[in-house]
Amino acid sequence: MIGFIVSPFVVAILGGWLLRRLPHRAAILAVWPAFLALLLANEMRSALSGGGRLVEVPWAPSLGLSLAFNLDALGLLFAILITGVGALVVLYASRYLEGHAQTSRFYASLFAFMGAMLGVVLSDNILTLFVFWELTGFTSYLLIGFEHERAAARTAAIQALIVTGAGGLALLAAGVLLSDVAGTTHLSAMVPARASIVASPFYAAIAGLILLAAFTKSAQFPFHFWLPNAMEAPTPVSAYLHSATMVKAGVYFIARMTPALGSTPLWTTAVTLAGAATMVVGAYRAVQETDLKRILAYSTISALGVLTMLLGVGTHAAIVAALVYLVAHAGYKGALFLVAGAIDHEAGTRDISALAGLRRMMPITAVAGGAAAISMAGVPLTLGFVGKDGAYEALLSANDWFPWLLVLIVVASILLGIAGLLAGVVPFRGDVASVKEVHEPAWPLWLPPLVLATSGVVVGIVPSVLNEPISAAATAIGGESVDVSLRAWHGVTPALPLSVLTLAAVGLGYMVHEALRNRTWTPPYGTEGVYNGVLSALDTVSRTIGPALHSASLRTYVMVIVVTSVLIGGSVLITDPALGSALPRTSIAAHDVLIVFLIIAGAVATTFARSTMAAVLSLGAVGYGVAMTFLSFGAPDLAMTQFSVETLTVLIYVLVFRHFRGLGPLSARLIRVRDGVIAAGTGLFIGSLLLSVATTDTAPGLREYFAEFGPTLGHGRNIVNVILVDFRAFDTLGEITVLATAALGVRGMLRFAADGHSHGGVRPVSSPIFRTAARLLMPLLLLFAVFLLLRGHNEPGGGFVGGLVSAAAFALYATAFGVQRARQALLVRPLTLLGTGLLLALVSGLPAVLRGQPFLTASWMPGRIALGTPVLFDLGVFLVVAGVGLMMIFSLAEES
Amino acid sequence: MEGLLALAAGVLYAAGIYLMLRRRLAQLIIGLGLLSNGTNLLIFSAGGLTRARPPVVPDGASALVAPYADPVPQALVLTAIVIGFGLTAFSLVLAHRVHATVGSDDVDDVGREG
């Protein structure tokens, strides 16, 4: 079943390929959602007889993340609407967008939306629901902005994304809180945890965030403004996303969360009031518009308000009414949108003041429009009537302040009825207004609205076919078993006079609809103004703060970072009682004093050097001093590495610094004093920090672990090397990749500058003594490098230092005989060394993967000689480091 | 001895930061080099100092014999040294390219060109 739920994503990917083969056959894409609808209907049948079922595939169990789907009646009801309306919309779009250059982009977004929407209504895990929820918002953004060459479409797309995306973030926050409070991420498991959720101190935050998400998605007041603007989307999208499906995701979510969170005063009040306000505002604004799609957009907002309000009221009758209303609305509103699209497609305008008499040229479309309009107006024997009548009944039987809601819903229903007639009847009646030559559109443009509209009438005559699914879905929301017996005619009930009153008022209002439009008060300032105000305020803030924070001066950044760290770190350190009483643990030997003196003298000389060469040589002295420190404190590996790195670094410094002038001061004296104070403060902080840390006992654990298991698990006696190539090999793999990238960057920068011309580069040293020495030393150094590599696992050495020494050997040779001869002596290119090394390191991790162990887990061959994948890995490190060093030195020396 | 090394690391940091606050490209990079050395020294010493006992298992023994130098900071510092080499080389060449393109080794001129 999961395969079917995600199958629209597959269609989204393959559809584009299919359309390139069959550019005029987009209609066949409609087959798949139609098939899915049948499949889901079958699933619904088994859900009705045997209850819903949970399907679960673990995804990331450690995060509580699983692809869990709840195939119960509530979710399936939505899923059938999504796929059923989806099939009709795809069929419609195949004609509506025919000839458009980028239809494959359209269908890709549309099918991705379909898959995401199915995910929203069927997910049983709040985290996956969030992912799908955001995906519907994102695909909606793509579809609203489909005609992205128009600025209005772009603005509307971004607005919808920001508003619904903000709601999505609220949903994520709510999901995190909720799964923490309820102890589960599964929606179905939250219902039994209801008592603890409602009693939790976070309940108000959870409910508020969930409702914020639902209200933004379902365009509830005051977040409703994005929906009319979203009409910039192609009409099939408006019909599908912004009327029949996506905007109902919020309503669905409220319904889904009601058993776990609902029926509290907070929930009931917030949902009811938001719904009622939305219902009235939307209906009122709908009759003031002349654009068909905007009329329908506002009436959709109003209908969403009705649904929300009914869910807020929350009685069984109200829930049933909401579900019937929802199904009816998907039918008639989808049909009216598609009719509006057909009119726009044929007549070239959607302005009802310019449209009239189209029934003669477009009779079938007119039938579809009329049938949808009477359902929307709530004429008896339509499903719209059943839904509206149910809502009246529900509010009549409820108590408290529900009489006020009854008044409001009657007013809204009257306005909605008028809006329905404006959209479905006005363009077709009256005399011909010669807009342009108009014909009945091709069948894909009239069949889908006709099917949607007539189904509303057919089901309206025998509404009892919906009894079972609605009952099961209402049970999922209400918690207790809800009986449903829908009838086309309820007999004389208290709701009947209200229905008659509504119909009469609709008729009356329709006659004076122009006056209603032109002579009514239009709010001068909407909530969209608030949205725009907030956005431009944010703009102003970032425009003010931005330049102040981003001075684009590296030195300012360094200064801010350093001063902040020192102040924060220093304030912590200064309160540390151990600082003053720190006692040294290691005695001072005479040679240590010399070494530290070398480091300090080198650092001071580097700082005040006036020539680049003096600075580089003092820097080298510092490096050698540090290396000697390593040597005297039990780190021969570090010392060897540091010695070879220092040698190569000095070489690279010299090769680059021959291009630079002296180092005389550029800054004013005062600035140098200020920097000196900052620097001295940093030094003081670091020194105190080190003193306090080095004299504190470190927690045992890691050291002992490696000491014990290095020889047994790692088959090596040099623990540092065992850590590098075995225990932490994945880190090392990352590090050699960084090195390789740096070397390729150096090579790229120099090649880019050289424009392919080689100018000969640095001239070799011509002294015969130096050349003879180099010729003798190079093979010895190489031999030593290999020796270091081979013994590295058991004695100081290893791939890093071996690679550095071999690079130094070739660097020496290049200094004596020129880069050209050194390249010849190397036989392969440095790039090949580097690539081979990376490949070897990667390959050494594969045997473990094949055995189902984590990547780079060591494998050892049995026998006296230790042969295993870490040896191969170390060889890879060796080659990469050698390749990196040579690539850098050769490219630098070759540059003129 | 901890005090001496703390002094050395502090001086390296102070010199490194001072140079990084200079306007010359070359000094910026040299400062970075001093800072890397200071950091390596800092991490190494922070793990605790032990004189002349490398973390290598002696012949015949099956595990390290205490006291021995902590191998964990050593492994960290070893890769840091080599990465520092890559970083230095890359930033040197970058500075060189900037110098050649802008025609000045004053960091403030780079901003003006941009």
What tens digit of pLDDT does each residue of A460-488 get?
899 999 999 999 999 989 888 888 888 88
Q: Say if A666 is an interface residue toward chain B (CB within 8 Å).
A: yes
pLDDT band at B114 (very low <50, low <70, confident <90, very high): very low
Same domain, A843 and A721: yes
Instruction: Point out the domain boundary residue: A519, A543, A563.
Output: A519
Query: Quick one: residue A726, left, alpha or beta (phi over 0 = left, psi -120 to 50 = alpha)?
Result: alpha
Rounded to whole angstroms, the Cα distance separating A240 from A93 reads 11
For residue A140, give both structure tokens: 């909606």
Residue bearing the bigger pLDDT, A843 or A101: A843
Rounded to whole angstroms, the Cα distance separating A80 from A476 reads 17
Same domain, A659 and A734: no
What's the average model confidence in pLDDT over A555-576? 90
pLDDT band at A755 (very low <50, low <70, confident <90, very high): low
Q: What is the pLDDT of residues A137-184, one digit of tens each?
A: 999 999 999 999 999 999 999 999 999 999 999 999 999 999 999 988
Determine the distance in angstroms separating the CA of A777 from the nearest CA of chain B, rounded to an integer: 24
In a domain, A641, yes or no: yes
Instruction: Point out the domain boundary residue: A519, A543, A577.
Output: A519
Same domain, A741 and A838: yes
Q: What DSSP designation does A723 have?
A: I
Q: What is the pLDDT of residues A395-420, one digit of tens each?
A: 988 766 678 899 999 999 999 999 99
Long-range contacts of A665-674 (CB under 8 A, 24+ apart): A665/B22, A666/B22, A666/B23, A666/B24, A666/B106, A667/B22, A667/B23
What's the average model confidence in pLDDT over A113-121? 95
* Run of H or E including A67: strand A65-71
Amino acid letter, residue A485: S
Supply the pLDDT for residue A695.
74
Same domain, A789 and A653: no
B70, pLDDT greater than 90: no
Same domain, A349 and A484: yes
Percent of all residues in chain A with a pLDDT value above 90, rounded to a whole number: 60
CB-nearest to A648 from B6, B11, B85 is B85
Flag if B83 and A738 touch (Cβ within 8 Å).
Answer: yes
What is the number of domains present in chain A? 3
ipTM confidence: 0.95
CB-nearest to A753 from B41, B97, B111 is B97
**Domain region containing A746:** 716-896
Same domain, A602 and A506: no
The sign of the CA dihedral A249, A252, A254, A257 is negative
Q: What is the pLDDT of residues B26-50, one digit of tens each?
A: 999 999 999 999 999 999 998 778 8
For residue A448, give both structure tokens: 């889908």
In a domain, A860, yes or no: yes
Q: β-strands A867-868, A860-861: how paired?
A: antiparallel
In a domain, A402, yes or no: yes
What's the average model confidence in pLDDT over A825-839? 94
A97, pLDDT greater than 50: yes
Q: What is the pLDDT of residues A488-543, one digit of tens each?
A: 877 778 888 899 999 999 999 998 888 888 888 888 778 888 999 999 999 999 99
Rounded to whole angstroms, the Cα distance separating B27 from A612 reads 9
Do the Cβ atoms of A171 and A237 come closer than 8 Å? no
CATH architecture assigned to B2-51+65-113: Orthogonal Bundle (1.10)
In a domain, A106, yes or no: no
Longest dimension (CA), chain A: 119
Supply the pLDDT for residue A275.
96
Do the Cβ atoms of A691 and A577 come closer than 8 Å? no
Same domain, A326 and A402: yes
For residue A376, give both structure tokens: 């929307």
In sequence order, the 6+-apart residues with CB closer than 8 A to the CB of B24 are: A663, A666, B105, B106, B107
In a domain, A686, yes or no: no
Supply the pLDDT for residue A167.
95
A699, pLDDT greater than 80: no
Same domain, A329 and A459: yes
pLDDT band at A698 (very low <50, low <70, confident <90, very high): low
Same domain, A856 and A772: yes
Do the Cβ atoms of A96 and A235 come closer than 8 Å? yes
Same domain, A790 and A867: yes
| Domain boundaries defined on chain B | 2-51+65-113
Determine the distance in angstroms separating the CA of B108 from the nearest CA of chain A, rounded to an integer: 8
Q: A664, A339, A311, A686: which is closest to A474 by C-alpha?
A: A311
**Site from B35, B65, B72, B113 to mutate, A interface, most A CB atoms within 10 angstroms:** B72
Q: Say if B102 is an interface residue toward chain A (CB within 8 Å).
A: no
Q: Say if A62 is an interface residue toward chain B (CB within 8 Å).
A: no
Name chain B contacts of A888, Cβ cutoff 8 Å: 89, 93
Same domain, A345 and A420: yes
Name chain B contacts of A634, Cβ cutoff 8 Å: 50-55, 68-69
Supply the pLDDT for residue B113.
47
Rounded to whole angstroms, the Cα distance separating A838 from A511 reads 80
When mean pLDDT is compared across A423-432, A442-451, B54-63, the lowest value belongs to B54-63
In a domain, A638, yes or no: yes
Supply the pLDDT for residue A433.
58
In a domain, A302, yes or no: no
Q: What is the pLDDT of residues A758-769, one digit of tens each?
A: 556 778 887 888
Tell me what the pLDDT averaged over chain A comes to: 89
Rounded to whole angstroms, the Cα distance separating A669 from A666 reads 9
Flag if A585 and B2 touch (Cβ within 8 Å).
Answer: yes
What's the average model confidence in pLDDT over A327-355? 92
Determine the distance in angstroms separating the CA of A516 from the nearest CA of chain B, rounded to an integer: 60
Same domain, A334 and A438: yes
Do the Cβ atoms of A477 and A319 come closer than 8 Å? yes
A862, pLDDT greater than 80: no
pTM over 0.80: no
What's the average model confidence in pLDDT over A317-324? 94
Calculate the dihedral angle through the C-alpha atoms of A147, A150, A151, A157, rounding to the nearest 10 degrees.
-10
